Amino acid sequence: MDGPVEPGRPTPELLAALRRGKAALRRERRALSLPEKVRAVIELQRTCLPLLARQRALRPWERVWEDCTRNSDSETTRGRINT
């Protein structure tokens, strides 16, 4: 490193590596099929909603989607998600 770095500030090298990693993650996610993207959303909901429920009562629309990607004749293939 050249000279002192401010305490608590990331180095330019670290920022560049983080940006490259973020770009790679975005490329991977864009390449996923729609059913894979829906599965990822459901997984995030199953992780986040219980944490949110500990803080306050969940609102009626805050619930985990049914996994409509399990069978090939799912509603998502026709452009809709079961609710």
The pLDDT tens digits of the residues spanning 25-36 come to 999 999 999 999
Q: Is 14 among the domain residues?
A: no
Q: Do the domain assignments include residue 54?
A: yes
76 pLDDT band, cuts 50/70/90, is very low
Within-domain flag for 8: no
Residue 5 lies in a domain: no
DSSP secondary-structure letter at 52? H
For residue 7, tell me if it sits in a domain. Answer: no
Distance CA(33)–CA(39), nearest Å, equals: 10
Instruction: Tell me if 81 is assigned to some domain.
Output: yes
Residue 73 lies in a domain: yes
Query: Cβ(59)–Cβ(53) under 8 Å?
Result: no
Query: pTM of the full predicted structure?
Result: 0.57
Structure confidence at residue 15 (pLDDT): 97
Split into its structural domains, the chain has a count of 1
Average pLDDT of 2-28? 89
What percent of the chain is helix, strand and coil (3-state, nearest 5)?
A: 55, 0, 45
- Does residue 22 sit within a domain? no
Q: Domain of 75?
A: 35-83
Whether 78 and 34 have beta carbons less than 8 Å apart is answered as no
